[in-house]
């Protein structure tokens, strides 16, 4: 019998409880006969109608001082008090499972190191891609590969909005309103639409793939708020769609290029077909080539199922560190993004701009806006040439 504490009884926390209860029998089989029992649920709110109100506590000490509890699920979100609680639990020799991408992106390095020292695990499959298995494949199934590139649609909210703009010709504001009405976007949508959520996720993936801590604050990030209906329509003429993409490339010397921004994706690319709230992550390894993972990137049960998978994994490795880790290194290994070549989809303010880009492909014009696609050039060269004569979106090649 393994005792579990759940910290945070919101959407994901209640999903974790539900799955542990519903699939109890099959889960016991999968742990090799160890039953998983929830002993505590930590939440400041009251849940008088819960089937087992005795599980609830408002006091973290109940959990940390209970030596029976060997697995703590942290699904509170945010840094405070999640960081302090997670650290304390690990230092007390308990396994910690989380879906909290903010915490992993900010303090994952330290928490994994403590887990290793304590011979327990800090696992975070649910922090990226919701229910889609990606952390575990990266840190296990693809281990034989040097990972050269990861790119993906990492945020369901923005993908829903952009899908609506592509399929229905909606403009950004209307698509956002609809997403809010359906509960796909928060009342304050900034974390999603400005790319901050995707930024943390790509930083986590890049850290895992490179073995070096990539600070999410150093990820150049652009959101989708400035994408217009016309951008979508002219991208369509090029047989492409616009999506918010997180990209990380790791060169043979271990230098890392990373970015979150909207990208123009030709329809021949598998990512172009990833619509609505779905996520997809493409990994390129030196041996395997391209492999893609696709599924629901958010939602109560998908995310909770990833958490519970980690709980089962921790139960199978109760005092064996799984060696999922990255290190902080001092030297600068980030590639200057201005030096990276790319093609650009341009919305220019006058017809003459295209003449400054040799080999550019003209896509036409509408209402005083001229659209074209450049040849490949560094971002520095591109921006110098364009100046303030237009807006642009990078092309995914």
CB of 141 to a second copy, least distance (A): 3
Which residue among 77, 81, 220, 295 contacts a second copy (CB under 8 A)?
295
Where in 99-128 is the site for a second copy (CB under 8 A)?
125
Is 201 catalytic? The answer is yes
141 lies in the binding site for a second copy (CB under 8 A): yes
**Is residue 15 a contact point for a second copy (CB under 8 A)?**
yes
Does residue number 30 form part of the binding site for a second copy (CB under 8 A)?
yes
How far CA 27 is from CA of 3, 225, 305, 317, in Å, comes to: 14, 43, 12, 15
Q: Is 108 or 195 the residue whose CB approaches a second copy more closely?
A: 108
Q: Which is nearer to a second copy, 97 or 360 (CB)?
A: 97
CB of 203 vs a second copy, minimal distance in Å:
20
Q: CB-wise, 41 or 224, nearer to a second copy?
A: 41
Q: Pick the binder of a second copy from 3, 201, 296, 347 (CB under 8 A).
A: 296
The one among 47, 238, 293, 333 contacting a second copy by CB under 8 A: 293
Q: How far is the CB of 325 from a second copy (least distance, A)?
A: 9
Q: Is 308 in the site for a second copy (CB under 8 A)?
A: yes
304 binds a second copy (CB under 8 A): yes
Q: Is 312 in the site for a second copy (CB under 8 A)?
A: yes
In three-state secondary structure terms, 259 is strand
3-state secondary structure the chain: CEEEEEECCCHHHHHHHHHHHHCHHHHHHHCCCCCEEEEEEECCCCCCCCCCHHHEECCHHHHHCCCCEEEEEECCCCCCCHHHHHHHHHHCCCEEEECCHHHHHHHHHHHHHHHHHCCCCEECHHHCCCCCCCHHHHHHHCCCCCEEEEEEECCHHHHHHHHHHHHHCCCHHHHHHHHHHCCCCCCCCHHHHCCHHHHHHHHHHHHHHHCECCCHHHCCECCCCCCCHHHHHHHHHCCEEEEEEEEEEECCCCCEEEEEEEEEEECCCHHHHCCCCEEEEEEEECCCEEEEEEEECCCHHHHHHHHHHHHHHHHHCCCCCCCCCCECCCCCCECCHHHCEEEEEEEECCCCHHHHCCCCEEEEEECCEEEEECCCEEHHHHHHHHCCCEEEEEECC
Considering the complex, state which of residue 29 and residue 80 has its C-beta at the smaller distance from a second copy. Answer: 29
Residue 140 interacting with a second copy (CB under 8 A) = yes
x/- track of binding to a second copy for residues 262-281 (CB under 8 A): --------x--x--------
Tell me, rounded to whole angstroms, the distance of Cα 322 from its chain centroid: 21
Stretch that binds a second copy, among 23-31, 258-266, 365-373, 386-394 (CB under 8 A): 23-31
Of positions 152, 189, 285, 390, contacts a second copy by CB under 8 A: 285
Q: Name the residue with tokens 């991408």.
A: 101
Least CB distance to a second copy at residue 386 (A): 34
Say whether residue 289 binds a second copy (CB under 8 A). yes
Applying CB under 8 A, the span of 4-12, 27-35, 50-58, 76-84 interacting with a second copy comes to 27-35
Residues in the chain: 397
Q: What is the DSSP letter of 85?
A: H
Among 305, 363, 377, 382, binds a second copy (CB under 8 A): 305
Task: Give yes or no for residue 146 binding a second copy (CB under 8 A).
Answer: yes
Please, what is the minimum distance in Å from the beta carbon of residue 158 to a second copy? Answer: 20
Does the footprint of a second copy cover residue 313 (CB under 8 A)? yes
> Active-site residue among 39, 164, 201, 249?
201
Q: Name the packing angle between helices 156-168 and 172-181 (round to 10°).
A: 130
List binders of a second copy among 166-205 (CB under 8 A). none
Alpha carbon distance 317, 319 (integer Å): 6
Residue 7 C-alpha from the chain's centroid: 21
Among 211, 226, 352, 381, binds a second copy (CB under 8 A): 211
**Residues found near a second copy in the complex (CB under 8 A):** 15, 19, 23, 26-27, 29-32, 125, 131-133, 136-137, 140-146, 211, 270, 273, 285-296, 299, 301-302, 304-309, 311-313, 316, 320, 322-323
**Residues acting as catalytic residues:** 201
């Amino acid at each position: 019998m393994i005792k579990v504490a759940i910290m945070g009884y919101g959407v994901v926390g209640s999903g974790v409880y539900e799955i542990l209860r519903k699939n109890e029998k099959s889960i016991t089989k999968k742990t090799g006969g160890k039953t998983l029992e929830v002993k505590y649920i930590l939440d400041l709110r009251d849940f008088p109608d819960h089937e087992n109100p005795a599980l609830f506590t408002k006091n973290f000490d109940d959990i940390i001082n209970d030596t029976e509890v060997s697995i703590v699920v942290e699904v509170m979100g945010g840094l405070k008090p999640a960081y302090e609680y997670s650290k304390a639990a690990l230092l007390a020799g308990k396994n910690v499972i989380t879906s909290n991408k903010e915490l992993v992106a900010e303090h994952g390095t330290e928490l994994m190191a403590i887990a290793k020292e304590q011979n327990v695990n800090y696992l975070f499959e649910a922090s990226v891609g919701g229910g889609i298995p990606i952390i575990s494949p990266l840190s296990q199934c693809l281990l034989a590969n040097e990972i050269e590139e990861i790119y993906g649609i990492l945020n369901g909210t923005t993908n829903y909005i952009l899908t609506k703009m592509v399929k229905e010709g909606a403009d950004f504001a209307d698509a956002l309103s609809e997403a809010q009405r359906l509960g796909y976007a928060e009342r304050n949508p900034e974390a999603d639409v400005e790319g901050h959520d995707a930024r943390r996720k790509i930083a986590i993936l890049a850290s895992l793939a490179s073995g070096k801590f990539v600070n999410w604050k150093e990820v150049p990030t652009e959101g989708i708020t400035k994408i217009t209906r016309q951008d979508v329509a002219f991208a369509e003429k090029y047989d492409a769609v616009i999506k918010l993409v997180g990209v990380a490339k790791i060169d043979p010397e271990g230098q890392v290029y990373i970015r979150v921004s909207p990208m123009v994706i030709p329809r021949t690319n598998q990512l172009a077909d990833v619509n609505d709230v779905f996520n997809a992550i493409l990994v390129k390894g030196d041996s395997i080539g391209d492999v893609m993972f696709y599924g629901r990137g958010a939602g109560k049960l998908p995310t909770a199922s990833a958490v519970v998978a980690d709980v089962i994994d921790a139960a199978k490795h109760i005092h064996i560190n799984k060696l999922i880790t990255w290190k902080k290194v001092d030297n600068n290994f980030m590639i200057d993004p201005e030096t990276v070549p790319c093609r650009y989809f341009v919305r220019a303010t006058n017809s003459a701009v295209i003449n400054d880009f040799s080999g550019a492909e003209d896509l036409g014009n509408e209402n005083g806006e001229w659209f074209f696609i450049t040849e490949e050039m560094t971002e520095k060269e591109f921006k110098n040439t364009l100046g303030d004569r237009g807006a642009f979106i990078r092309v995914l090649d």
